[in-house]
Structure 1
C-alpha cells in the first residue's frame, strides 16, 4: 500500500486550481480500491479549515471594477485599431477570473472529505519534543531562522510512519514548500541534507508534486490522466459564448421573419396604411403596415449580409428545435431565465 503524508500547502494549492480535479479523481479511486491511504495530521485538518474561507474569497474576488475602469479608459482614449479585440480580451479575463471561486468551492468539498476520511494522526508530546529539538539544533526546517514548528511536526510524524512501515508499504511525503524542505543549493527536487536520511531507504519518497508520486506508483492510471489533460475540453470564453448567442439570435429571428413574409404573401396578413383595432382595443395581428413591412424586408436583407444565407436554413422540425434549445441554454448561461427566446 502507498501511504502518503501531504503538506497543507499542497492541499491549498490544489483547491485553487481546477486543473487538479483529474489528479484528485485518481487519488479518490486509488483510496477507494485500497491501494492508497492518506495519513492526515490533525494540524493539517485545522490549517485547511482556517484557510478555506480565504481561498474561496481570493478565488472568487472579482476585479470587475478594475476591468470596467480600464475598459472605459480604452473606449474613451484608445485608438480604434485593435480596440475591439482588446476589449473582448478584457471581458474574457474578467469572466474566467470570476469562475475561479466556483472551482475552489468544488475542490474544497472534495478535499475536506478526503482529509476527514483519512488516517488522522494527533500530535503526540513525543513529536512536539522532537520538533522542538530540531528548532534548538537549527535543523531543517529551522535553517531559515523562522518559526517552522508546524513543518517540523510534519517531519516527525513522517518519521513515526517510517518506524511503523510494513514490508509491503511505500511511504511518500509531498510538499510544495521547497524552500523549507528541499536542497536548494544542489537539487530542489531532493530533500534538504538535514532530512535526507528520512528518504534514503527504498520505499520512502520525497516529492514536490502529488502527480509525481501517483505516477510512480500507478503509471497506468496517470497515463489515462495525462491523456485527459491533453484532450481536456476547456471552458468557452465569454466572447465565444456571446458570439454564438448572437448567431443563434439572428437565425431564430430570420426564421420568424420568413414565416411572417409567407403569411403576408398568402394573404393571411393584410398590408395596410394604418393598423386597425379589435373590439377590445388591441392592434390587429392579421395586419401589417407598409412601413413595418419595408423595415422587415430591409432587416431580412441585413441578416443575409451579416451571417450569410448558408447559415439561415431552411431547417426541419428537429433542427429548428435544436436552434431554439441552444439559444435558450446560452441565454441562461449569460443570465437570462430558461426558455427566454424573444427576438
Structure 2
C-alpha cells in the first residue's frame, strides 16, 4: 500500500480548479479500493478549513473582475464592427461564472468527505521541537527568509511516519506544490531539497510536485483508466444558446396557439370585429380585432418561412408537453418562475 501525505497547497489548488475533477475522482476511487491511504496531519486539516471559503469565493470573483475590465476596454476601444460579437461572447462567460463558483463548492465538499473518512494525525511536541530546531539551523523549509513552522512540521511528521511504519511492502509519497520550500533550489524542481533528501529514496519514499504524477506512478494503468472515465465533464450551455432556444420554443408555442385560434375563427366560434369591446365576458370566444388578426397572419407567415411547416406540428400530447416543458425549464434557468409560458 502507498501512504501519501498531500500538502495543503495541493488540496487548495485542487479545490479551485474544476478541471482537476478527474484527478480528484481517481484519488477517491484509489483510496476506496485500498490502493492508497491518505496521511492527514492536523495542521493540514486546520489550514484547509481556514482557507476553503477564500478559495470558493475567489474561484469566480477573480474571473468576474477580469471580465468586467475586459468589457470596459472593449466598449471603449473595441472595433465597432466586432464589438457586439465580442461583448456577446463575454456575456456568455459571465453567465457561466456562478456555475464555476458552485463547482468549487462541490470540489471542497468532496475533499472534506475524504478528510472525514481519514484518521487525523495529531502533532506531538517532539515533532514541534524538531521543526523549531530546523528554524534555528535555517534548514529547509527555513532556508528562505520567510516561512512558517507548519511546513517544517509536515516534513518532520513525514520523517516519523516512514521511520515508524516499517511494514514490509508499504511505500510512501510526499506531494507538494510548494517547490520554493521543499524542492532543490539549484536543480530539477522535482527533486527534494538537500536538507530533506534523507526522507526520500528511489522506491520506498518518493517526492512529487504533482498529484496526478504521483497517482500515475502508484497505479499507472488504473489511474489512466480512471481519468478517462471521469474526464468527461458537461460544459454549461452558453447564454446565447439558451436565448436562441427560448426564442425558438416561444415562437412555436405562439404559432400553435395561433393555429388553434385560426380553427376557432374558421368554425365561427371566434368572431373578427373592427374593434374589440371591453370588458370581455367569455375569453374562450373572445372576438379579435381585424387589424390585430391580419398582423398575426403576417407573423405566422414569417414563422412558416423560418422553420418550415414540417417543423411546426401538429404535435401529439407528448411532443406538445416536451415543447412547453423545455420552454419552462429554459426560462427558469434565466430567472423566471416555473411554468412561465406566456408568448
What pairs up with 1:1-343 in 2 under 5 angstroms?
Answer: 1-61=1-61, 71=71, 79-165=79-165, 166-228=167-229, 231-276=232-277, 285-309=285-309, 311-343=311-343
CA distance in 2, matches of 1:47, 1:65: 26
Per the TM alignment, residue 282 of structure 1 is displaced from its structure 2 partner at its CA by: 6.4
Higher mean displacement: 57-66 or 216-225:
57-66
The SS at the match of 1:189 is coil
CA distance in 1, matches of 2:47, 2:224: 32
TM-score of the superposed pair, with normalisation by structure 1: 0.89
Alignment check: 8 A CA contact 1:247 1:307 kept:
no
RMSD: 2.7
Q: Aligned pair in 2 of structure 1 residues 72, 313: CA closer, same or farther (>3 Å)?
A: farther
The SS at the match of 1:173 is strand
- Unpaired runs of at least 5, structure 2: none
Aligned residue pairs: how many? 342
- Unpaired runs of at least 5, structure 1: none
TM-score of the superposed pair, with normalisation by structure 2: 0.89
Q: Aligned pair in 2 of structure 1 residues 83, 263: CA closer, same or farther (>3 Å)?
A: farther
Q: Aligned pair in 2 of structure 1 residues 76, 199: CA closer, same or farther (>3 Å)?
A: closer
**Per-residue displacement from partner, 1:3-47 (whole Å, max 9, x unpaired)?**
111100111111112223332222223323333221111111111
Alignment check: 8 A CA contact 1:276 1:284 kept:
no
**Per-residue displacement from partner, 1:297-338 (whole Å, max 9, x unpaired)?**
122123234455554334333222211111111111111122
CA distance in 1, matches of 2:66, 2:130: 49
Per the TM alignment, residue 80 of structure 1 is displaced from its structure 2 partner at its CA by: 3.9
CA distance in 2, matches of 1:317, 1:291: 32
CA distance in 1, matches of 2:282, 2:35: 73
Alignment check: 8 A CA contact 1:2 1:37 kept:
yes
Per the TM alignment, residue 64 of structure 1 is displaced from its structure 2 partner at its CA by: 5.9
Alignment check: 8 A CA contact 1:276 1:283 kept:
no
Higher mean displacement: 152-161 or 136-145:
136-145
Q: Aligned pair in 2 of structure 1 residues 184, 66: CA closer, same or farther (>3 Å)?
A: closer
**Per-residue displacement from partner, 1:175-211 (whole Å, max 9, x unpaired)?**
1112221225321222222222322141222112222
CA distance in 1, matches of 2:317, 2:12: 50
CA distance in 2, matches of 1:134, 1:87: 54
Q: Aligned pair in 2 of structure 1 residues 231, 48: CA closer, same or farther (>3 Å)?
A: closer
The SS at the match of 1:93 is helix
Q: Aligned pair in 2 of structure 1 residues 69, 133: CA closer, same or farther (>3 Å)?
A: closer
